[in-house]
Each structure stands twice: as C-alpha cells, then as structure tokens.
Amino acid sequence: MTDEQRTAPFYTVPPHHIASVEHPAIIRNVDKAIDTLEGNAGISKIINSSRADTRANLNLRPEDVMSRPLQSTNSQTNNVLLKVTVPRRTGRRRKRGTEEPFTEMHLPSENDGCPRLSARDLRRSLEDNVGRYQVEPVGMVNRTHVFRGMPDFVWSTSSSEFTNRFRDQILSFDYEKMKQFDINMSKGAISNVDIIPPPSYSHGDIPFNYFYRQNPTVKQSLDKTGQPTTINTSSATKIATHLVPYDIPTVPQAAHPGCPPIPTLEPVLQETISVLESLFSTRPAWTRRGLRNSLTKLEQRHALKHAVPYVGYIFRSGPWRDAIVKHGHDPRSSPDYRIYQTAMFRLLPRDPEVARDGGGSANFNTTNTDTYTTGTTGGHGGVKSNRRHTHTRYSDVAAINPFANPSSRTTLSSDNTFTTTTPVPAETTHIFTGTPPLPHDGRMWMFCDIADPLLRNFLFPPNPSDPTNPPPGFLRETCEPVTDGWYGTGTMAKAKAIMRAKILALTENRATDDEAEFGRILAFPDHVDEENLNEEVLQFSCEGEGVGSREMQMATDIRAAIRGAVSWRAVVSRPGGVDGKGGNEVGEGGKKVQWEDEGEGDEGSEGEEVEMQDQEGEDEDENQDGDDAEDQDQDEDDEMDEGS
C-alpha cells in the first residue's frame, strides 16, 4: 500500500512524557490555577515524581496556608496530547449560503483576555476549516490526575490573633520571625478565649448517601393558628401520673387534673380502674408487678398503665421508691406502713447474649408449672426476650384471635363492635420466695411480698409480749424519709445484703445455707450512731475462724451501704440541699442529681418508674424523627413529674 492510498496520515509522537491534571474549576487565569496546585513546586512534583502513585494536591484557597488541600486520584493512562491549529478568524462574517457582503465584527484583543470556547464552538471551528487545520502530536500522557473527592470544610481564622501570629511567624519559615513567637501560658482565661480550629473537619472525602426518608407515621396537619405543622400519629400518649419525691409535704389526694373523667374512658379502662380500686381496698400500696399479676384479663393488663393515675401516686425516690400508693395515704405517717417499703437490685446477667436484653442468669429457662413461666417466653406465652417489663403485645398473642384461642370470649356490643375477653393465669412473680426460679420481669420487691422465711422473720420479728407490734427499739421513733423509712440503717443494710446474696445464688443455680452464710450477718446491730459513724461501722465486721470470703464481702457491702446512706442524708439535709432549693433532691429541670461518691444506697439513684418515664420520652423522640421506630414495651409509662 502506497502513501497515496492511506486514508489517514501517520504522525510521529515525540518522546515527551506528560501528566494530565483535570482541574475541577473553570480556568480563566492560568497563573492562579498553577497556584492552586502548589505552584511550580507542585507541578514539578506531579511531573518528576519517582513514584507512580504520587498524588497532586489542590488547594482551593492558596492564600490560606492553613487550609486543607484536596488530593487527587492518580491513574495510569495511554493517551496522546494533540495540538490542533485552525486558521485565525478575520473578523468578518456573513450569513451562510448567501452572497451578501461580509460585515465587520469585534474580535477579542489580548487585553480582553482569552475567552473560554465551548465544545460546540470548537467543533464548529473544525467543521468550518476542513482540510485547513493542522494536527501535531505533542507527547504521551502517561498519568492523569482527577479530583473526585469532596473538599474539607474551612473555618475562617482571619479574626484569630493566635492563628495570625502563627501564620506570620511560624509558617513563614523565617528563623528571625520564629524566635519572636511566644505562647501565653497564663491560666484562668474565661472571656475572649481564642479557640483554635482543628486541622481537619471531615474524615472522608467520598460522599455518602444517607437515604433520608420521611417517617410514614408523621403526617402534615394544621395547628390552632392555621399554620402547617407535622404530627406523629404513633406517638405515646401522655399519662398524667403523680410522680412525687420522698420529701413532698402533702401527698396527692386525688387523680391529676389532666386525667380525663372516668365516664369518658373506654369500657376496658373503666373496668380496670374498678378492679384496681378493689385491690387498693385490701392494702394501700402495691408494686406495678403485683397489680399486673393480680389482673386476670389480658386487656386489663394492657390498660394498667393508663389506670394507675386514677387510683394512686408513685414515689420516685426514698424508702417507698416506685411504690404505687393509694391517694390520700402517706406511708411516712405511721410505722404500720413499713411493710410497703421497697428494695431494688441490679440483676447482672451472666450470659453476654442475654445482657443486651436485660436478662438474668445464663440458665433461666426454668418453668414453674404452678405459677408462671420465665425464660425466653413472656408471662403470657409469647416468645419475647427477658427485658424488664417486656410482655407480649396484642400483635404477638395468639389468644387475641378468638378463632385461635378457645378460652377467648368475643361478644357483640350494642354499638356493633366486638369485645374480646382473654383470661390469663394468675402470676406471683412479685413475691420473693428465695427459691428457684428467679422471676425476670422486675428487679424490685415490696417487703410485704417477701415470703422467704429468713428475710421475713428478720424484717418482721415476733414480739411475744405484744404480737401486734414489733419488739421495742427495733423501729425508729420517727420516719427517716430519705433512705431507711421506719427501719434502722443497720437493718436496711443487712436486709438488702442478704436479699442480694440470695438473688445471686438463684442466678447461679445454687442454694444458700442461711445459718452458715447469714448467721453472723444477722447478729449485726440494727441501728448506728451517725455522730460516731467511723466507730459504729467497726461493729459490722466478720472476724475469727470459720469466716468465709462471702461473709467478709457481705460485711464490706453493709459498711459501704451504711456510709452511703448517712452521706446521702447529709447531702440532702444541708442548707441548699442538692439543687440549692432547701433540700429537694430534684435538680434543675426536674432531673435527679447523683453525686459520684455519694448515693442513695448501692442500687442506683433512679427507680423503675423514673427509668420508664425517661425511656418512654426517648422512644417518643425516636418515633418522631426516625424511619423505622420500634414499638415500645406495653408496660412502660410516660409519667408527668409534679413533685419537683
């Protein structure tokens, strides 16, 4: 084939190795574009790099030496750089396809700058000069640098005195200026503090798509003023429960004013309130678990949290913490109410898999066929975890379906609505017997619900001379409302230590020897003299032969509990109290204050009812802002604190 028969000419590519940089900006000034690539030094680094993966640095604010550069992606290419020359335009033009005379037009001069031609203009220029433009290879493009990442955020430091001095004296790399740099080492600056920004804000330069979408339960609506707003159709209903502190002067006498009238409530809720009133006629205080176990219908158990505000109030702290007390009854008024004091414990799991759900022992699948079933099933037969107060919901119980459970009774009411009544077996998980299995639906027990013989004889010792009253000197003359109630500090510390040891033994599937393990503990005094506390706590020690490690550990825990109770009472009784308002333990904003080294006993500062209130508030926020919010436990309340 001869040269005349070739359809395209051959060109010799010069042996020049070229690096291509795809600048993300529109280049109008070449010198400024070079400055963004760190000037001649940066260009030389790109071209003459000894490593193939060397990256180019792009600084969108080259005048600020403290701004973070954007690094390129260096990829190997096999391209050719061509130089295409087209005839220069004369400046005259006429309409294509006509014989009209040419007209003069203004051409940009050198002073006007080089305008950027679009791809359409370049293609039109080549089409108008077919056969008259020249092509010349310049060299091979072996490397191409592209910038696909996101630049970092920039904080303006123009008003920062320290940053300006650092930029002028240190980053100038002038030794004489560096010697002038000094740092103010004085302490206690609280106003006009110069905060230095971090060297970088964003940890990644690749954009991430979060796939935000609206919660399907959040709907648009109009408020009272007619302005558009959003409402959460699945938000939890506010329950106006009296949640009072231990030192409230007068206990609530009736339901909260925010509670709807009873005749306007649903029939199931009215029936539940009637059942609770009959239960409170037998005793003035209950635990939530005790009330739930006393209800014989599943619908009533689900309505319990809405019915409690109509019958009683709840102590959020103190000896009757989390106890639901009948309206108008003050357990601090008589020592007869000592039997309704409560004890709460942390049930630490042994199995890490169970720890996430709040379970207890690793072997908790024991069944008591006479009373209840613990383990991986809730108290009603639904497969649930062992979280506190986690019970089967309506969607999880086959008994709700009248066709699936023969024991369910469905009737048609006068308003053409079906009413399903689902009986459930009675449970006794609120009673502490000291024998397995250990119930996992709560961590708090009331003293009158303790059936363990050792603890019951210890908390309620017999008095042969007067069976209706305890032995002389066993109780306090006046109620101590912060930690101990009507019992002595030693009595409460011993009772909690022994009960905690029994709970741990149940979680470890072992039996306790009451005489061998707790005989020396029961001999400790019931009261302590707080004026001589350091000497008094020495009486709570186990020494001598035959003392085991568990007894010594229990004695240590008792001494710590006594010191903690005395210290906490001193904190809340001093002028100003905890929150500076005369001894009220509820801090600013209604939140409870817990000191690091002082606390109300060794079992935590907040009870189940307060945790349920906080958890329900957090869950409500998640339901309003999140995408796939989970349903909350049926037995958790959103209480309203009115005792701050």
CATH number, domain of 312, equals: 1.10.10
- In this predicted model, which residue has the larger pLDDT, 72 or 184? 72
Q: Dihedral of CA 234/240/246/247: which sign?
A: positive
List Cα–Cα distances, 423 to 212, 426, 428, 459, 548, in angstroms. 44, 9, 16, 36, 49
Residue range 237-252: average pLDDT? 90
The values of phi and psi at residue 327, to 5°, are -55, 135
The values of phi and psi at residue 540, to 5°, are -95, 60
Give the percent of the chain with pLDDT over 90: 29
The pLDDT assigned to 591 comes to: 37
Query: Cβ distance 566 to 533 under 8 Å?
Result: yes
User: What is the H or E stretch that residue 567 is in?
Assistant: helix 549-573
Q: Does pLDDT of 538 surpass 50? A: yes
Residue 589 lies in a domain: no
Do residues 462 and 560 both lie within one domain?
yes
Which of 24-28, 345-349, 360-364 holds the top average pLDDT? 24-28
User: What is the H or E stretch that residue 32 is in?
Assistant: helix 30-36
The pLDDT assigned to 487 comes to: 95
Torsion of CA 61, 67, 68, 71, to 10 degrees: 20
Q: How far apart are CA 302 and CA 550, in angstroms?
A: 42
Do residues 147 and 28 both lie within one domain?
yes
The pLDDT assigned to 108 comes to: 57
Residue range 34-45: average pLDDT? 89
Other Cβ atoms closer than 10 A to 465:
8
Which of 126-135, 358-367, 476-485, 592-601 holds the top average pLDDT? 476-485
Query: Cβ distance 481 to 565 under 8 Å?
Result: no
Structure tokens at 392: 């089967």
Query: Model confidence at 116, in pLDDT bands (50, 70, 90)?
Result: low
CATH number at residue 38: 3.30.200.160
The pLDDT assigned to 404 comes to: 39
- Largest separation between any pair of C-alpha atoms in the chain: 136
Scanning 146-206, the segments in alpha helix (DSSP H) are 161-169, 175-180
Q: How far apart are CA 319 and CA 480, in angstroms?
A: 9
Query: Cβ distance 265 to 246 under 8 Å?
Result: no
Query: Cβ distance 592 to 610 under 8 Å?
Result: yes
Query: Cβ distance 89 to 107 under 8 Å?
Result: yes
Q: Look at residue 104 and give its three-state secondary structure.
A: strand
Do residues 18 and 144 both lie within one domain?
yes
Query: Model confidence at 342, in pLDDT bands (50, 70, 90)?
Result: very high
The pLDDT assigned to 510 comes to: 84
Partnered with residue 83 across adjacent β-strands are 136
Do residues 451 and 549 both lie within one domain?
yes
- pLDDT tens digits, one per residue of 76-90: 899 999 988 888 766
Q: Look at residue 411 and give its three-state secondary structure.
A: strand
Query: Model confidence at 111, in pLDDT bands (50, 70, 90)?
Result: low
One-letter amino acid at 447 equals F
Q: Point out the least confidently predicted range of 89-93, 212-216, 523-527.
A: 89-93
Do residues 159 and 270 both lie within one domain?
no
Q: Does pLDDT of 498 surpass 90? A: yes
Q: Dihedral of CA 159/165/171/174: which sign?
A: positive
Residue 439 lies in a domain: no
Residue range 360-365: average pLDDT? 40
Q: Does pLDDT of 499 surpass 80? A: yes
Residue 287 lies in a domain: yes
Q: Look at residue 248 and give its three-state secondary structure.
A: coil
- pLDDT tens digits, one per residue of 147-177: 988 888 888 888 888 888 888 888 888 999 9
- pLDDT tens digits, one per residue of 414-432: 544 445 556 666 688 899 9
- pLDDT tens digits, one per residue of 218-229: 988 888 888 999
Scanning 170-321, the segments in alpha helix (DSSP H) are 175-180, 267-280, 288-294, 298-302, 304-307
Query: Cβ distance 442 to 289 under 8 Å?
Result: yes
- pLDDT tens digits, one per residue of 427-475: 888 999 988 888 888 788 999 999 999 999 999 998 888 888 889 999 9
Do residues 478 and 559 both lie within one domain?
yes
Domain count, the chain: 4
Query: Cβ distance 384 to 378 under 8 Å?
Result: yes
Q: Does pLDDT of 588 surpass 70? A: no
Q: Does pLDDT of 186 surpass 70? A: yes
Structure tokens at 317: 């702290």
The pLDDT assigned to 477 comes to: 92
Residue ending a domain, among 312, 333, 354, is 333
Q: Dihedral of CA 278/281/287/290: which sign?
A: negative
Residue 292 lies in a domain: yes
Do residues 147 and 27 both lie within one domain?
yes
Q: How far apart are CA 167 and CA 65, in angstroms?
A: 8
Query: Cβ distance 241 to 308 under 8 Å?
Result: yes
Residue ending a domain, among 333, 351, 368, is 333
Q: Does pLDDT of 637 surpass 70? A: no
Whole domain around residue 16: which residue ranges?
A: 11-87+139-152
Do residues 454 and 521 both lie within one domain?
yes
Q: Does pLDDT of 304 surpass 90? A: yes
User: What is the H or E stretch that residue 554 is in?
Assistant: helix 549-573
Compute the residue count for the chain.
644
Do residues 164 and 292 both lie within one domain?
no
Residue 162 lies in a domain: yes
Query: Model confidence at 92, in pLDDT bands (50, 70, 90)?
Result: low
Query: Model confidence at 306, in pLDDT bands (50, 70, 90)?
Result: very high
Partnered with residue 641 across adjacent β-strands are 243
Residue 587 lies in a domain: no
Tokens 């001193």 -> residue: 570
Q: How far apart are CA 408 and CA 420, in angstroms?
A: 7
Residue 619 lies in a domain: no
Question: Residue 116: exposed, middle, or buried by beta-carbon count in 10 A (0-12, 13-18, 19+)?
Answer: exposed
Structure tokens at 140: 């091979």
Helices 514-522 and 549-573, packing angle to 10 deg? 40
Query: Model confidence at 51, in pLDDT bands (50, 70, 90)?
Result: confident
Do residues 78 and 158 both lie within one domain?
no
Residue 503 lies in a domain: yes
Query: Cβ distance 149 to 60 under 8 Å?
Result: no
Structure tokens at 492: 């409460």
The pLDDT assigned to 331 comes to: 94
pTM here is: 0.56
Residue range 570-591: average pLDDT? 53
Quickly count helices (H) and strands (E) in the chain. Answer: 16, 22
